[in-house]
Amino acid sequence: MKRVISLFLLSLCLLSAHSALYAHNMSPSLLQIIEGKEGQVAVVWKKPSVNAFGDVLPVLPANCRQLELKKTVMAGVISDSIFLHCEGAIYEQEVGFKEAGMLKSSVLLQFRRIDGSTHQCVLSEKQPSCQLSGAPDWFSVLIEYSRFGVHHILIGLDHLCFLFCLFVLSSSGKKLLMNVGGFTLGHCCSLFLVVLNYIPVFEWLEFLIAFSIFLMASEAASVSRQVGRAYGLVSVCFLFGLLHGMGFAAALDVIGLEQNFLVWSVLAFNIGIELGQVFFVGICIAFYHLVRRFHADWPVKFERWLIYVIGVTSVYWMWSRLPIQL
């Protein structure tokens, strides 16, 4: 109980100084290229103002000339709308940024063809440009969306914090497998249900995801661990997994689905998320055993303080994600 109270007091201290904190936007910036009729192409370049891209504009297809440029700022997002006229096809053309140093964070490139199908790739310092492709096949969709899934889970600090809490709360490999399995089953179900339009994404979702992390951090910091005993930790993981799965679906909606390979797109994205989870949990296990070789008590002390940090951070996320103005 004392640990939970300490966590709450630390959270209040964080809230009192929240204006001095930098809240990193975990979503990538978005570069949309929309193919129209008779050589008309629209480009929408959206980036959060906190990412500090400044006035950097992407390098567009060489066979296109710019007709108009409009800039808008709304809710902390800067949008550049660029209208082009292109001579000939824009397939197989390179789009991106001249230098990798221009990319302050990852950028999602989305190319929407005239037939409604889409092509996506993630631009980063290692890959500052991408080639616009023609009609995809099922295998390229499988590889592409799997990469998106892995990328999304590994940059999603909130989801990783939740997984770390599960790691700390699991006293054995079997329990870890059951807890992560319950979380996985939950987010798989809600991901497919949202994509198939059976359930909607509501405005309190991001707040509740942060709240789930706070509860799990509080449970991990508590000696009694009453939530797990009262309701069964696997059941709790499944319920929270439903929330996180809806968050995954919202991210997938931003990326866009390949309409000609709808099932493959969702399945591949989900596979990528699972691969990312396995990788992260594996890193936690390896780090735990490596540190334990040097000193038996170090892993426990490290876990304890990291759980406090996660709990405090989750309170800040709850505050910043409130859908109402206070």
pLDDT at site 13: 47
Residue 5 has pLDDT above 50, yes or no: no
Mean pLDDT of 199-225: 87
CB-count exposure of residue 148 (10 Å: 0-12, 13-18, 19+): buried
pLDDT at site 135: 65
Kindly write down the DSSP assignment for every residue of 264-297, as one continuous string.
HHHHHHHHHHHHHHHHHHHHHHHHHHHHHHH-TT
pTM recorded for the entire structure: 0.71
Contact between 163 and 280 (Cβ < 8 Å): yes
Using CA of residue 265, residue 266, residue 271, residue 274, what is the dihedral sign? positive
> In this predicted model, what pLDDT tens digit does every residue of 122-148 receive, in sequence order?
787 777 888 777 666 778 788 888 988
CB-count exposure of residue 63 (10 Å: 0-12, 13-18, 19+): middle
Q: What is the DSSP letter of 66?
A: E
Residue 45 φ/ψ region, left for φ over 0, alpha for ψ in the -120 to 50 degree band, beta for the rest: beta
> In this predicted model, what pLDDT tens digit does every residue of 224-256 receive, in sequence order?
555 555 457 888 999 999 999 999 998 887 777
Tell me how far CA of residue 217 lies from CA of 115, 211, 303, 305, 313, in angstroms: 47, 10, 11, 11, 10
Residue 322 has pLDDT above 90, yes or no: no
Alpha-carbon span 263 to 265, nearest angstrom:
5
- pLDDT bucket at 16, cuts 50 / 70 / 90: very low
Name the most confidently modeled range: 77-86, 91-100, 242-251, 296-305.
242-251
pLDDT at site 299: 60
Alpha-carbon span 33 to 44, nearest angstrom:
7
Residue 273 has pLDDT above 90, yes or no: yes
pLDDT at site 7: 47
